[in-house]
Amino acid sequence: MRQMKRITVALGSILLLTFGSAMAVLAEEPSSAPASVQSTTSLPNKSGTFPANVSVNGISLEGMTLEEANTAVSIEADRLLERNMHLSYSDQALDQSLTSLGIVWANPNVVNDLSSYVSRGNFIVRYKSMKELEQGPVEKSIELSGDIEQIKSVISPALEAASASARDASITRENGQFVITPEQTGIRYDADAAASSILNQALDLTAESINYTAEAIITEPNIKSDLFSHFSNTPLGSSTTAFLASDSNRSENIHRSSEGVNGNLFMPGEEISALKMFGDVTEENGYKPAGTYLDGAVIDDIGGGICQTSSTLYNAVLWSELQVTKRNPHSMAVDYLPPSMDAMVSYKAGYDFTFVNNTEYPIYIEAYCSPVGANGYANLTINIYGAETRPANRSIEYRSEVLLWEYPGTLFDFVEDSSMKLGFGDYSEKEATVVNVHPHIKSKLYKDVKIDGQVTETIEINSLDEYRFSTGTIRHAPDVNVDVSVDDSGRAVEVKLEFLDGTPVTNVAPGWSQAQMDAFNSRMRSLCAAKGVTWPY
């Protein structure tokens, strides 16, 4: 019995010693450090393998070391990233791998995060891992990530190259003929929608490939060629006025404003502004100072002469029978059109000339200036083209009816100009009208509509226009007298030029005898000397 007690005591000592050693080990190990902070490099990873029921993306890690598991999962991640993206658009296609689209492996440490299952290190960490497996299999997934903007940067160039902006059909006149440029249908692709779908498919790890068909978004042009199919080479309406080319600034303003009018196309129902076509009437935009009307006087101002362009346009509009929406007469009558057939414009005063294309087809406006003729004048012509729908047996005429025409008491003021030629010469060398006399006029405009040459309707266009009168100004050489008078019609002023002695002005010496010539020169020397100038003969 004593021997058995000794054996029992000894066994108890051994158990106590063993338990004590275990407790000592437990006391040395941390009791609450989470697995997430364990350093996998401090654990004997290669000495252990994964147990059953641990997998990543369906790949069982059972029996694999940490290194083997990392290799297997990396191969799978590479396979997912090398999946093909096939983008179809129009009759073209773009193929790219996901890596080229900026798709990346978002959790490359997914295997290392499971290292506790192969560690022979921390007892508590191993214990917790084993307890998790008792609850069920541990399944982790490979995670991919990407950016829509990065995908767009890859696919957008291809989609844009296959896109085209909608372009309206256009029409121009070249060498007296219309040239039509056909319309173009617009096509584009929604890169945002494509990139979003591609990204969603790429993040779906079950998809074997990524496919997207970009649907074409079609934009139809507003103006198509068939709108011009009925265009006539004969203008709907046309007007031509003359201007003195030697008045260089005014001539330049007419050229500049007519260039703004030329080539404009307007659709049915569209309202057209003369001032908008002219552009900014400034020196920076090519306009010059020239004579213009202001409060019954003629002054120099930027753009003087553009009213001749607007008035010529007004007459082309009248003959085209388009709808006039805004028109104002000049303050004084013009000499290039009958009363009530002018249209004044002014940026400063806020006057514009506007009209509407009230036809069912587009209209095209052509404007050009002719070369200077032998008389020193050039012509401004404005044509309005479109589809002629008016009956062939119908015609129109315009009548300017003058109710009052009276000149001021003083027709002209005369200014001697010592720079002008003395002696024989042309009228143009001896006299120049600086400002024409303007009569006081009241007038109306009527349109007569004719069918087969017979007037069937008379329409009052402008009820009453009133123009102010003003005295003109004439410059002349010191050796001549200028006489002006109203002709028998009462509608025109005659200018008569004579030398100081009453002899008619000619450009060469008359066929007089020497005695007659001597007498003439003697008279003129005396008369000129009295005015402080020297007769040249």
Q: Residue 49 has which token pair?
A: 């393998």
- Is the CB of residue 431 less than 8 Å from the CB of residue 480? yes
- Angle between helix 191-202 and helix 148-161 axes, rounded to 10 deg: 130
Q: Is the pLDDT of residue 129 over 80?
A: no
Which of 112-126, 258-272, 392-406, 424-438 is predicted least confidently? 112-126
5 half-sphere exposure, CB direction, 13 A CA radius: 2
pLDDT bin (cut points 50, 70, 90) of residue 125 is low
Question: Which among 420, 424, 429 has a CA at the least distance from the CA of 504?
Answer: 424
Q: What was the pLDDT predicted at 121?
A: 57
- Is the per-residue pLDDT at 316 higher than 50? yes
Q: Tokens standing for 98?
A: 């996901």
Average pLDDT value for residue range 372-392: 96
Percent of the chain with pLDDT over 90: 80
Q: Give the mean model confidence (pLDDT) for residues 180-192.
A: 96
Specify whether the CB–CB gap between 301 and 429 falls below 8 A. Answer: no
- How far, CA to CA in Å, does 241 sit from each of 175, 315, 337, 379, 420? 22, 10, 7, 6, 30
Return the amino acid letter for 316: A
CA angle at 455 for the pair 449 and 459, rounded to the nearest 5°? 45
- Strands (DSSP E) contained in 424-515 are 431-435, 440-451, 454-467, 472-476, 480-486, 493-499
Q: What is the mean pLDDT of residues 378-403?
A: 97
- DSSP letters along 128-171, please? HHHHHHHHS-EEE---EE--HHHHHHHHHHHHHHT-B--B--EE
Whether 31 shows a pLDDT value over 50: the answer reads no
Instruction: State the pLDDT at residue 133.
Output: 78
Cβ(266)–Cβ(357) below 8 Å: yes
CA distance 305 to 380: 12
Q: Tell me which residue of 471, 526, 472 sits closest to 499, measured CA to CA.
A: 526
Residue 33 scores a pLDDT above 90 = no
Inform me whether the pLDDT recorded for 467 exceeds 90: yes
- Three-state secondary-structure class, residue 504: strand
* 131 Cβ contact partners less than 8 Å away, ≥ 6 residues apart: none
Calculate the average pLDDT of the chain: 89
Average pLDDT over residues 327-347: 96
Residue bearing tokens 């020193």: 376
Interval 475-515: pLDDT, tens: 999 999 999 999 999 999 999 999 999 999 999 988 999 99
- Cβ atoms of 266 and 281 closer than 8 Å: no
pTM: 0.72
Q: pLDDT per residue over 399-447, tens digit each?
A: 999 999 999 999 999 999 999 999 999 988 999 998 899 999 999 999 9
CA distances (Å), 441 to each of 308, 364, 463, in order? Answer: 19, 34, 14
Tell me, rounded to whole angstroms, the distance of Cα 89 from its chain centroid.
30
Q: How many CB atoms lie within 10 A of CB 416?
A: 13
The whole-angstrom separation of Cα 252 and Cα 259 is 11
Res 11 pLDDT > 90: no
Q: What is the mean pLDDT of residues 19-37?
A: 38
Tokens of 418: 């010592």
Q: In this predicted model, what pLDDT tens digit does every residue of 292-308 receive, in sequence order?
A: 988 778 889 999 999 99
Percent of the chain with pLDDT over 70: 90
| CA 304 to each of CA 45, 255, 293, 420: distance values in angstroms, whole numbers, following the listed order | 96, 12, 8, 26
Q: Does the structure show a pLDDT above 70 at 463?
A: yes
Closest by alpha carbon to 334, among 355, 310, 352?
310
What digits encode the pLDDT tens for the residues 63-99? 999 999 999 999 999 999 999 999 999 999 999 999 9
- Angle CA(343)–CA(345)–CA(349) in degrees, nearest 5? 135
CA dist list (Å): 115 to 40, 255, 409, 489: 7, 88, 117, 118
Q: pLDDT tens-digit profile of 39-71?
A: 333 333 345 899 999 999 999 999 999 999 999
User: Any idea which residue has 């256009």 for tokens?
Assistant: 170
Amino acid sitting at position 530: A
**How far apart are the C-alpha atoms of 343 and 41, rounded to whole Å?**
95
Instruction: Locate 195 and state its tokens.
Output: 């990139």
Using alpha carbons only, what angle is made at residue 484 by residues 480 and 489, rounded to the nearest 5 degrees? Answer: 150
Lowest mean pLDDT among 131-135, 211-215, 240-244, 351-355: 131-135
Residue 358 CB partners (closer than 8 Å, separation 6+): 268, 269, 322, 323
- Closest by CA to 237, choosing from 325, 315, 153, 329, is 315
DSSP 217: E
Phi, psi of 23 (to 5 degrees): -65, -35
